[in-house]
Amino acid sequence: MKREEIDNGRENNDMMMIDGSLEKENQANNKAVFDGLNLNYFKAYYGKLFPHTDIFKWMSYGNDGKHPACDNSYFVRREFSFTLQDDIYLRFQSFNTSNELENSIKDKCPVKIDIGPVYSVDPAKRRAYAQSGDNVFIPVERELVFDIDITDYDDVRYCCSGADVCLECWPLMTVAIKMILVSIIFSGYTVADVVYIVGLTNEQRAAIADYFCVCKGNENSQKKVSLPGPVLHPFLARSYTDVLKDFFEKNLLTSQNIFSTEERYEKILEMIPDAVASELRGKWQDNRRSSHSKDDINVVRWNQLKNLLQSGKQKAQGLRRCVEEIVFCFTYPRIDIEVSKHMNHLLKAPFCVHPKTGRVCIPIDPIRCEEFDPTTVPTLSQLLEELNMEGLKSDAENDWDRTSLGESVRFFRSSFLQPLLKSCKEEIESSYNAKLQKSKNALSW
């Protein structure tokens, strides 16, 4: 696929349409984007439904007010990246105001929006600073991000692969969310606090990412998890007992039929010592030829493996640890630690559209993540159809309240944005008062 990176987008003043004439537009301007998504749909979406102001307020972190301690340059130093039709990338976009951001999105009509770090200077003017000879254009702040991709679980899920997801494999993401919450509670942070950690250095980010790192290697590695030491780290022990063990035994074991075929259980046997694996392999192959048990084969074989590794002649600590390693391999969050470590990675913006599925990227309530159904996330075409069908209703305060996107926007505001901004403004006020007091003390001295 062609790739091009430019600094300034093409001018486009086409009128936005949300009715049947979308399909009757001039064919030259009606080119399909990615998997059949239509640029005119994006125009309608950005014109009617995308919460531009909320994104601006989030990225401003309280610095958009009139308080004397507000950093008026904060938002303009934030990078935005737009992916346009034909895979054209617009990096280092910056904006002074919410209106500038909104107008640019509507004008350029990106099929994908990414958010970069806050730089030391305006990213759009980086070349002018580069000519000065001083290396002043560097990232200085970015949200601490944990990037977990369902495609990284393809070796332990058998219902889907690639970007496909269903209710059988989505619980892997639910467990990942719970695991992050366990670490947040364990360390004394709240969800908003973690999102607000933007001033960490790359070294500090690397330390946090390494703390979470358990799964290593690639899809060809026979053993992705190795848990050293006589006892588990308290965080890992709590994760295992509170979340992972029950999920593996009560959900994943049967939903993915992990031991149902020789090809699948061989992946497990490769993770344990050869002598034990040989004994289990012989037993399971014999059972396959003469098995009339009504019990679930996955549960039966898992219990046999556990009993053999955790009792009798196999009591050695290293063999008992194999059970925990298998559970961690299948269930522990597979975090892309490079995304967490470095400030120069881009973060997909909430409420942008996934270019392959057409579904809108919406926030998930981490406290109620078990209730989230990824198959019901609204698509771009669905939202525009809802908007047209509800067009005659005038009781809705906002256009998104006439669609299934309204609930997600309200949740983003009430559960994330408003508490975050309250905390940011309190911090700005507290820092300002501390500086005033320090100044007064210096004068009195």
DSSP 233-301: -HHHHHHIIIIIHHHIIIIIHHHTTTTSSHHHHHHHHTTS-HHHHHHHHHHHHHHHHS----S-HHHHH
Distance separating alpha carbons of residues 435 and 412, to the nearest angstrom: 33
Active site residue 149: yes
Catalytic residue (one of 79, 114, 122, 386): 79
Distance separating alpha carbons of residues 85 and 61, to the nearest angstrom: 31
Distance separating alpha carbons of residues 242 and 196, to the nearest angstrom: 27
DSSP 311-369: SGGG--HHHHHHHHHHHHHHHS--B-HHHHH-TT--EEPTT-B-TTT-BB-----GGGG
Active site residue 25: no
- Partners of 445 in the beta sheet? none
Distance separating alpha carbons of residues 114 and 346, to the nearest angstrom: 6
Distance separating alpha carbons of residues 3 and 431, to the nearest angstrom: 45
Active site residue 79: yes
The tokens describing 81, both together, are 């990246």
Catalytic residue (one of 23, 35, 86, 149): 149
How many CB atoms within 10 Å of residue 44? 21
Phi, psi of 219 (to 5 degrees): -65, -15
> Closest by alpha carbon to 76, among 113, 142, 125, 112?
125
Q: What angle do CA 289, 160, 253 make, to 5 degrees?
A: 50
Our separate counts of H helices and E strands in the chain read 18, 8
Catalytic residue (one of 87, 100, 147, 336): 147
Q: Give yes or no for a contact between 259 and 298, defined as CB atoms under 8 angstroms apart.
A: yes
* Active-site amino acid positions: 79, 147, 149
